[in-house]
Amino acid sequence: MRYVDEYRDPQIAHALAGKVACMATRPWVLMEVCGGQTHTLMRYGIGDLLPKGIELVHGPGCPVCVTPLELIDQAIHIAGLPGVIFTSYGDMLRVPGSHCDLFQARARGADVRVVYSPMDALNIARENPAKKIVFFGVGFETTAPANAMAVWEARRQGIANFSMLVSHVLVPPAMRLILESPKNRVQGFIGPGHVCTIMGFREYQELADEFHVPIVVAGFEPVDLLEAISMLVAQLEEGRAEVENQYSRSVEYKGNIAAQRVMRDVFTVADRKWRGIGEIAQSGLVLRKEFAAHNAERVFQLESLFVEEPKECISALVLQGLKKPVDCPAFGKRCTPMSPLGAPMVSAEGACAAWYQYKRHA
C-alpha cells in the first residue's frame, strides 16, 4: 500500500538504527506519547534495534486507557436503561468498569452497538426516533473533530434523540504534567502525528521552549519512528531543543483549520480526570452549553461518581514513564489483557498490554 509499505523497509530501518548508534555518545530517555506509536515500537521490536543507552518509555496517549472508571460505570448504567441504544467504538466495550464492562452489559440484554464513526451513531438515531441513542465520545484531539461534527449535525438536523457521553482528553497538558514532575526522566518526545495533523504543532513549540526539550512530530510506521528517534538524538547530542516535523506528508504547522473550527464550536476546554493519573487542569474537552440537549450527562441527569482504583496498580507511574510495566508485581499475573487491573493493560495500545503481547517472553 502506497505511503505505508515503503515506511516498513527493513534496510532503511537498520540504516537509521545504525545512524542513531553512531551519534549517541551517552544514554538518552525518549518518550512516545501516542498509544499507536507504542504499539508500532513494540510490534516491530524497535527498542531492540537501538543502542542500549537509548531508552524508550511509553506515555499516556491511549484514550481508551485513560478514560476514568467513573465514566465507564456511567456508560454501563446508561446502556442498561430501557429505550437506550448505546453506541461506541469497539475498543471501549471490553474496558472494565468497577463491576463489569459494556460487553457484559450487552450479554445481560443492553442494546450496545459498535460503530465505525460517530456519524453512524447519528444515522441509528435518525432511523430509531422512538429510542434514545447515546454515543461514547472518547479520544484525543484526533477524534474530537469527528465527534464534534456528529453533535453539530444532530443540532442542525434536529435529531433530538442523539446524545454524547464525552470523555475527551488533550495531549499537551499531559506532557506538561510529565515535564513538571521533579522525578521526570524524559529528555525528548516523539510527538503524536495524528493529533498534530488536527492541531498543528504550535502548542508543542511552547513546551519545547519552556522546558528546553526536543520534540519530533512523527508518523506511525517503523521507519517514521526510527527517523524521529534519530532526529531526537541528533538534537540532544547537539544541545538543541526544537520542534521538528518528521511527518510532513500529513502534518502542517497550523494543523487542520476546518477540523479545529468545528471542535472549537462544539467543545470547550475543562479540567479532566485521567484514569491512573488523576485530575489534570484544562486537559479535557466538554460540550458547550449550546449543545446541552445532546449532552448525555444532562439528558440522563447523571450524578458525579467517585470510584477508587485498585491500589496494587502502578499505572500512574507507567503512564508518566517513571516505571516499566514489568516493574509491577501484578504484571502478567493478577493483571493481564483478559483481566486488567489498570488503565495501560486495558487497550491494545496501552503500554502494559503492548508489553504483554510482544515482550512478555523476551
Partner 1 sequence: MNILGDDPAFRSGSVDFCGVRKTINLAFTPEVQPGDFVLVHVGFAISRIDGEEAARTFKYLEHIGALAEEGLAP
Give, as ranges, the residues between 54 and 93 that touch partner 1 (CB under 8 A).
89
CB 217 within 8 A of CB 242: no
Nearer to partner 1, 89 or 162 (CB): 89
Would you count residue 222 as binding partner 1 (CB under 8 A)?
A: no
Collapsing DSSP to helix, strand or coil, 140 comes out as: coil
Binding residue (CB under 8 A) for partner 1 from 58, 168, 194, 273: 194
Binding residue (CB under 8 A) for partner 1 from 251, 314, 318, 341: 251
Binding residue (CB under 8 A) for partner 1 from 71, 112, 149, 159: 149
Nearer to partner 1, 81 or 257 (CB): 257
Phi, psi at residue 174, to the nearest 5°? -70, -40
CA distances from 71 to 64, 77, 136 (A): 11, 10, 10
- The single-letter DSSP state of residue 7 is G
CA distance 152 to 156: 6
Mark residues 283-322: x for contact with partner 1 by CB under 8 A, - for none: ----------------------------------------
Binding residue (CB under 8 A) for partner 1 from 29, 100, 114, 146: 146
Nearer to partner 1, 21 or 293 (CB): 21
Nearest partner of 208 among 197, 196, 220, judged by Cα: 196
CA distance 313 to 335: 9
Locus of grid cell 506519547: 33
CB 101 within 8 A of CB 94: yes
CA distance 181 to 2: 41
Mark residues 253-282: x for contact with partner 1 by CB under 8 A, - for none: ---x-xx--x--------------------
Nearer to partner 1, 248 or 282 (CB): 248
CA distance 82 to 73: 17
- As measured in angstroms, the least distance from the Cβ of 125 to partner 1 is 15
In the chain, how many H helices and how many E strands? 16, 11
Would you count residue 336 as binding partner 1 (CB under 8 A)?
A: no
Nearer to partner 1, 11 or 339 (CB): 11
User: Which residues bind to partner 1, rule: CB under 8 A?
Assistant: 1-3, 6, 9, 11-12, 14-16, 18-19, 21-22, 89, 116-120, 142-143, 145-146, 149, 194, 197-198, 223, 227, 246, 248-251, 256, 258-259, 262
